[in-house]
Every structure is written in C-alpha cells, then in structure tokens.
Amino acid sequence: MFNILYHLLNKGQATANELAEKFEVSVRTIYRDIDSLSEAGIPVYTEAGRSGGIRLLGDFVLDRTVFSEEEKKEMLSALASLSVTGNHFEKAALEKLSAVFQIPSEDWYEVDFSRWGEITGDREKFETLKTAVIYHRCMEILYTGSYKEKSERVIWPLKLLYKSKEWYVKAYCTKKEDFRLFKLNRILKWSLLDEHFTPVPYSESADSGRRTLEQVVLRFSQKISWRIYDEFDERMIKELENGDLLVRVSLPSDEWLLGYLLSFGAEAEVVEPIYLKKLLAEKAREIYEKNRF
C-alpha cells in the first residue's frame, strides 16, 4: 500500500490495471488496497472515464497524514546533509529517491561531520546545534576567536552553514547584541539551554561588514596544483608556461590569511600586494628563528 501511495505521489494518477501490473497483484487486490488506504484517512479516490484513474487529493497526504512533524524535520535534515556531497539529482533520479523509505540510507551515501584522527565530539556538537536550530533553543558556548582569545557566549543558533569545506553556525550573540558567524571547530564547549528564542532573519550584511576582503595575486608551484584546483574556482586560476599557477582571489585580510598562506609552505609566493609579501616573509623568518638548531 505504501508502494501504491508513493507511485501516486510521483505520477499523479494511475489506473488499477497499471498498478496491478506494476506490483504483480490482481486488480481486485488493488481496489481492496485503495479501500484500506481510504479507511486509514488517505484522500485517495477513483475517477471514471477515458482520462480517469486513481488519484490523491492535492498534497494533503504528504503534509498531514503520512509523516509526523518530527519525521518531516528529520527528512529535511537528511536532505540538507546530503546536499553537502555536491550531488545534483535530475528528475528521474528524484523519482527513484522517493523510494528511499524502503532503502537504508547507509547503503548509498554517508555524511561524516567529524574530523580525521581520534574520536572527537564533532557529531555530538552538530546534533546539539541542529536541535537548537530546529526547536529554537538557546545555547551556551565557549568559543575561541581568530586571535585565540576565548570567551563564553549565549547564542541563538539560526542556521547551520557548510561553506568552503567547513561547518559554521549563523547565530545571534546576546553578548555582542549582534549577529555572528561561528566556526564549529572553534566551539570548544557547548550546552543546550532550556530557554527558547524567537527566530529572526540573519543579517548577511552585518557579517560581511566585519571581515574586510583583500584582492591578492598568488603564484603556486605546479607541485601542488591538485590542492589549488581543490580550493580555488578554475576561473581564478591561470596556468603559466612553466606549469606554475597564478591565482587572483579576494581573501579576508586578517591573521587567518597569513596562516592560510603559510600552509602552502615554500610552494606559494605572494605577487600582490607587496605589504602582504613582506608580512609573510617576516612571519616565515619568525618561524625559522623559533625552530632552527
């Protein structure tokens, strides 16, 4: 009967003969199942005539009868998680996906929110934040900022964001009385509070206004071309005659930028701006002085 229901949701309508052939039962069994669905509160009806058949009434089934509120939220969460894998399904694939209720999800995809290495609390952290977002619960967190300062915050988690291979939470910070973007990896401690909040739209302009972007030109050795194509859009990349890669990109002009450039080691060179080239050289010399023997 669930197969009949999902078939009607996908196709809009079907004849009893079509359903009998598809599910390898008799037409009488189809009509008996339709009666059972109707008795269960599913608004299914038959229409006579050449263009008639078995139909469902609007979207009442999906919204009100088959799935509870909890189930709908869990499905939305699962679909949002799936989207981080970068898959874009065509219409035919989406029709097949509607049968996912019969196929264990672990058989065809997996999304892992934890980092490589030892077991961490990343999964627990993500689940706690998801609960806070869905049920509008306040959270208390211990957060370390870009300059390693630690602070306790009470936040209103509004939305989870996956961007540039990292997870963030868009939230309203009661301490700063403003919107903030918190990186999940920098949340050191977290707890769900009993207090609820009224959701408000996150201010994108407020966040972008706090982080100045710098137009930079970088030259990378061909030895790490695999990483460059992983981290930058191909439209930003120009391949030079010797195989090196020239990248023009806007990046945040803060302490993070120096650390990011240093992660490429000797395979990266700052072409512009000159002051950034000087800062990177000074930071590299500082590292050398601390580690030479």
Q: So what's the pLDDT on residue 281?
A: 92
Residue bearing the bigger pLDDT, 102 or 82: 82
Query: Is the distance from CB of 56 to CB of 42 less than 8 angstroms?
Result: yes
**Higher pLDDT, residue 25 or 256:** 25
257-284: average pLDDT:
91
Please count the helices (runs of H) and the strands (runs of E) in the chain.
11, 12
Q: Who's near 9: CB < 8 A, 6+ residues apart? A: 56, 61, 62, 98
In the chain, alpha helices (H): 2-11, 16-23, 27-39, 60, 69-83, 91-97, 122-135, 204-208, 225-231, 255-262, 274-291
Residue 56 has pLDDT above 70, yes or no: yes
> CA-to-CA distance for 111 and 137, rounded, in angstroms?
25
DSSP 115: P
- The pLDDT, as a whole number, for residue 203 is 79
Backbone CA torsion sign across 149, 157, 80, 83: negative
Q: Establish how many alpha carbons lie within 13 A of residue 15's alpha carbon, considering only the half-sphere containing its beta carbon.
A: 8
| pLDDT-based confidence at residue 230 (cuts at 50, 70, 90) | confident
The CB-side HSE value for 40 (13 A sphere, CA atoms) comes to: 15
**Between residues 114 and 200, the one the model is more confident about:** 200
Q: Hey, how many other C-beta atoms are within 10 angstroms of the C-beta on 216?
A: 19
Query: Which of 189, 214, 233 lies closest to 273, judged by CA?
Result: 214
DSSP state of 147: T
Whether 95 has a pLDDT exceeding 60, the answer reads no
C-alpha dist (Å) from residue 263 to 34, 117, 237, 238, 275:
63, 19, 19, 21, 19
Q: Where does residue 192 rank: exposed (0-12), middle (13-18), buried (19+ CB within 10 A)? A: middle
Instruction: Taking residues 199-218, report their average pLDDT.
Output: 75
pLDDT at 112: 64
Q: What is the mean pLDDT of the chain?
A: 79
pTM above 0.75, yes or no: no
Rg from Cα positions in the chain: 27
- pLDDT at position 63 is 52
Give the pLDDT confidence score for residue 255 in this predicted structure: 74
If one compares 122 and 18, the residue with the highest pLDDT of the two is 18
Q: How far is CA 12 from CA 4, 56, 260, 289, in A?
A: 11, 7, 52, 72
Looking at residues 272-289, what average pLDDT do you find?
Answer: 92
Confidence of residue 111 (pLDDT cuts 50, 70, 90): low
